[in-house]
Chain A
Amino acid sequence: MLRPRWYKVIHDLFGNKTRTLLIVLSMAVGLFAIGIILSARSILSEGLARSFAAINPSSGTVRTIEPFEEDFLQSVRSMPEVQEADARRNISARVEVAPGEWRNISLFVIADYGDIRINKVSSQSGAWPPPEREMLIERAAFQVIEAQVGDVMRIKLPNDTQREMRIAGAAYDPAQLPAQIDGTPYGYISFDTLEWLGEPYGFNELYVVATHPEDKDWAQHVVNLVKDKAEKSGYTIPLSMTAEPGQLPMDDVLQGILLLMGSLGVLSLFLSVFLVVNTVSALLAQQKRQIAVMKAIGGGSPQILGMYLVMVVSYGVLALLVAIPLGTVGARALSQMLATMFNFNLPTMRIPLQTILAQVVIGLVLPVVASLFPFLSNLRISAAEAMSAHTIGKGRFGKNWIDQLLSGSNLWFTRKLSIRPFLLSVRNTFRSKGRLALTLTTLTLASATFISVFNVRSSLSSTVDDMIKWFDFDMMLTFDRSYRFDRVEHEALQVPGIVQTDVWLQLPVRRVRPDGSESSMMYMFAPNVDDSALVRSPAIAEGRWLTPEDDNAVLVPSALLQDEPGLGLGREIVLKIYGKEESFKIVGTFVGTPFAPIIYANYKYLSKVANRVGEADALLVRTHAHDAASVEAESEALEKHFEDVGLRVSMVSTLVNEKAEAEASFDVLVVLLLVMAILLALVGGLGLMGTMSINVLERTREIGVLRAIGAPNRGVAQVFILEGITIGLLSWVMGSLLAIPMSQGLNQAVGGAIMGTPLTYAYSMPGLWLWLVVVLILSALASFIPARNASRLTVREVLAYE
């Protein structure tokens, strides 16, 4: 048989269902947010590592211009520094996604689909291996080429061969950048098909796994050895890359996301702590009189504390029963969404025990610790005082400067106005200042986090705008080989609608470090920098853009300074250009993503150094009309014209597409941020509702008094709604201010992880106003519902309320 005190605990828990529901929900939303973030973070990290390890990722890639055959591959495999090597043919082609609309596509040719040793590609659906004259498409690329398995697509190669090919199946290749992010779809064909496409046999991409793939420096050394070997064998190496050990191509962005999730997890944790403290202190305030009565009949403090701790722990258990399953479902959904976006499989959806334990600790220990403070302060006052102070509400209004400020003499202008309920609401708000401070802290934190999430979203958009606003052209054409610039410019201007052209050189370079080791490959772009140039400047992070007078000046991406120690503004950088070391001076850094390291130099100087004066690798074109449709039409016309005059174009990119692709690479973040914003709105909103509702429940007796002195139900509800709105507005104002430093911190963290430089700061006004609307609706609802319920009771019932 239970002791009577435990009956009280049980009856308190289940007798007042509204209160229990509010408290449990307030706690559960915080726990849910923590659960979803911690679990998703863990599922993604593990899934990423395991699915990447499963493909036996390469330590580096060496590309050759001349095709090589198995004997060279075997000689690389026999190198003692090489654990494994494999080769493919990679050809850039164009695919017709709609009549007359062509997109770039990368086609991989693999000799034996049953024996892929590095960067393993596997079958997702349909045929495997690709049948002759048919192709497989990487699963993430279908949305880019707007096709499905079974469709027939027209493919155009740089050798002008055009063929219709059926998509025989879907492949899964997590080693490539997801097509929806970099805009390039991937296809897979056999060597028989390659022959049918009119291309000679041979590989041009060599993948190696170093003997110690986890050591990036060693891996790079091995890649350089392979590259040297290839060069000695007579192959030209336009590109060689060393991969970050154990990292997928989009790892930086994903790390940014995980970091953001971690930051928001910590913020949610704070939010939960405040919610719990607030809820428990409200509960104890409500039970103050009953605690006093129990003291009066001989209840000892440890006994009473024990009762309330059990009660608080029970709320925690109930909240966990809601939060853990929901958090698990949410985390799995979120992880799946991100894994789909980043194109990797999640081999396990297991929720780690630590996450559950973290939730349990937060859900059980935190409320206990939180309840100790209000309980101990409750114990400090005598039972007699606790019982007498209950007459109407609580708090000592009138004592300090805030109360004085709200006094009648200061609000003389309101005397002739019928706003007494408003005054009562405002003064009520400040009556219990400790509670107000706690409620405001919770809501301010929620407001600031919500607005900050929107700010990061705006900042991402501003960053993309910044990244491309210096490009004064509408499209860029890359050639299969270099041409005289006067010829390509002359031919381009023959096409109606094209008003201005410019050219640049692009060549692979490698940094030579002071110790003689070499970095992985980077692209050096050398545009014109005079007044007529179509490239004004990328978004400068530090320093300046190039001038026509510059000789050996370069601009490097800010992310490079992190990856390559010893570099900095004003310092020298030695670059290997066509096998020759040249010294440059870094005059500026620009905002750029690390997955496409680009170095800018002056065309005039670089063309001399590289012995390529008068040559062009790419043509920049400015058209008369700048809308997407016109630019697309111009690009088709120009491509057709170049084809007619024998200029081979390998890639066409329009600025509109580039922008869309840059934004797409942030899309994942934006979607995630929106999910987080909704989650935080839920946490903050329910927290707001819970806190306010408990505040109103606590004052049920006061409602009785108001009604006893003649206030109509509507008037009573009005007082409480206005009070709720006052608190909501205060938290909104404070939150909108706190969001400034908070979003700067998030911008720094996210931008740092993705690009090595903070995002371009932007304050999101839509986020600010959206949260205002949410706050107003929720605070009005949160106050109205319990006030309406209380006003439905008879005055006698209300005054007897406990």
Chain B
Amino acid sequence: MNGQVFHTNTSESQPLIDLRNVVKIYSSLAGSVTALQGIDLQVHRGEFLIVMGKSGSGKTTLVNIVTGLDRSTSGEIWVDGAPLHRFSTEKAARLRGKTIGVVFQSFELLPTLTVLQNVMLPMDFARRYSVREQRQRALQLLQQVDIADHARKYPTALSGGQQQRLAIARAMANDPAILVADEPTGSMDSGTATAVIDLFADLVRQGRTILLVTHDKDVAKRGSRIITLADGEIIASETSEGIHA
């Protein structure tokens, strides 16, 4: 399967995310582990790409590589035309601030900032808006994810679903073209999970490109394309109309 190319034709020919023969090897006390074995993957603008696979299949590694949180051992990663594989961690952080919003399974909210401040922080780092604008925009985003009433609370005062909504609002802070979510519903009940996925689906309708990792087949059905990873390789790719469901 190595080297096999999976892609769907979308409205634009230039992929927003373009992975070319990406390899990631981890070294540990137990020896070397190849987490990704020559991944080729293109994601086009407006796609809702679902990444599935068992534990240890390389899903999270793929997310880390695509977002620049980790470096590949070899291969090329192009994001919105930028060669992420050549970027320093510093430059990668700036790219994330501008182009990629990241949502983690365990939310990773900053506990000493309020809900509002958590959303404002990426804007502060990106220096895109004045503090007043940051505040207004953060409130809009919180309204969008339906937790504006909790703006002054600390994240620990929110439920799991609300925390993930907050994490999504934070990821949207700088209006990124891409949202990458690593099992965002992994620790939620089905009702809450559905609401969160609805939110992602809305964002795709608004033109975002989403790469979402999940175990949940029901969640996966909502994507426009599903790829399945096993042992660091893409073993299946199928398109779906779930986005419209």
Query: CB distance B102 to A297 under 8 Å?
Result: yes
With beta carbons under 8 angstroms apart, the residue of B67, B94, B110, B156 that contacts A300 is B94
Distance to closest chain A CB from B141 (angstroms):
13
CB of A290 within 8 Å of the partner chain? yes
Query: CB distance B117 to A385 under 8 Å?
Result: no
A606-650 interface with B by 8 A CB criterion? none
With beta carbons under 8 angstroms apart, the residue of B89, B112, B120, B156 that contacts A301 is B89
Query: CB distance A1 to B121 under 8 Å?
Result: no
Q: Which B residues lie within 8 Å of A300 (CB)?
A: 90, 93-94, 97, 125
Binding site for B on A (CB under 8 A): 1-5, 7-8, 11-12, 15, 289-290, 292-301, 303, 379, 382-385, 387, 396, 398-399, 800, 802
Query: CB distance B108 to A296 under 8 Å?
Result: yes
- In the bound assembly, the distance between CA atoms of A399 and B27 in angstroms comes to 13
With beta carbons under 8 angstroms apart, the residue of B108, B124, B156 that contacts A4 is B124
With beta carbons under 8 angstroms apart, the residue of A290, A385, A398 that contacts B110 is A290
Query: CB distance B108 to A8 under 8 Å?
Result: no
CB of B126 within 8 Å of the partner chain? yes
- In the bound assembly, the distance between CA atoms of A399 and B29 in angstroms comes to 7
- In the bound assembly, the distance between CA atoms of A482 and B121 in angstroms comes to 95
With beta carbons under 8 angstroms apart, the residue of A4, A379, A384 that contacts B70 is A384
Q: List 15 A-B contacts (CB under 8 A).
A: A2-B131, A4-B113, A8-B112, A8-B113, A15-B112, A292-B69, A297-B122, A298-B93, A299-B122, A300-B97, A301-B93, A303-B125, A382-B64, A382-B69, A387-B69
Query: CB distance B94 to A296 under 8 Å?
Result: no
With beta carbons under 8 angstroms apart, the residue of B96, B108, B112, B118 that contacts A298 is B96
CB of B170 within 8 Å of the partner chain? yes
Chain B's interface size range is 35 or more
Smallest CB-CB A-B distances: 10 pairs = A298-B97, A11-B112, A384-B70, A384-B64, A384-B69, A4-B120, A4-B117, A383-B69, A297-B122, A299-B125
Query: CB distance A296 to B89 under 8 Å?
Result: no
Please judge, given known A-B contacts A298-B126, A383-B70, whether A8 and B117 are in contact too, CB under 8 Å: yes
Query: CB distance A298 to B94 under 8 Å?
Result: yes
- With most chain A CB atoms within 10 A of its CB, the pick from B64, B131, B170, B171 is B64
Distance to closest chain A CB from B101 (angstroms):
8
- In the bound assembly, the distance between CA atoms of A301 and B96 in angstroms comes to 13
Distance to closest chain B CB from A800 (angstroms):
7
- In the bound assembly, the distance between CA atoms of A300 and B96 in angstroms comes to 10
- In the bound assembly, the distance between CA atoms of A7 and B104 in angstroms comes to 23
- Pair count A-B, CB < 8 A: 100
- In the bound assembly, the distance between CA atoms of A1 and B93 in angstroms comes to 25
Distance to closest chain A CB from B165 (angstroms):
16
Distance to closest chain A CB from B153 (angstroms):
13
Q: Which A residues lie within 8 Å of B104 (CB)?
A: 296, 387
Query: CB distance A382 to B89 under 8 Å?
Result: yes
Query: CB distance A295 to B117 under 8 Å?
Result: no
CB of B217 within 8 Å of the partner chain? no
Q: Which A residues lie within 8 Å of B101 (CB)?
A: 297
Query: CB distance A5 to B67 under 8 Å?
Result: no
With beta carbons under 8 angstroms apart, the residue of A4, A12, A382 that contacts B121 is A4
Distance to closest chain B CB from A4 (angstroms):
4
Query: CB distance B96 to A296 under 8 Å?
Result: yes
- In the bound assembly, the distance between CA atoms of A3 and B96 in angstroms comes to 20
Known: A4-B120, A4-B121, A5-B125. 9 other contacts (CB 8 A): A1-B131, A3-B131, A7-B112, A296-B102, A296-B108, A298-B98, A300-B97, A382-B71, A383-B89
Query: CB distance A296 to B134 under 8 Å?
Result: no
- With most chain B CB atoms within 10 A of its CB, the pick from A3, A379, A399, A800 is A3
Q: Which A residues lie within 8 Å of B114 (CB)?
A: 7
- In the bound assembly, the distance between CA atoms of A306 and B132 in angstroms comes to 22
CB-nearest residue of chain A relative to B113?
A8
- With most chain B CB atoms within 10 A of its CB, the pick from A2, A7, A12, A290 is A7
Q: Which A residues lie within 8 Å of B42 (CB)?
A: none
Query: CB distance A297 to B121 under 8 Å?
Result: yes
CB-nearest residue of chain A relative to B156?
A800
- In the bound assembly, the distance between CA atoms of A54 and B199 in angstroms comes to 85
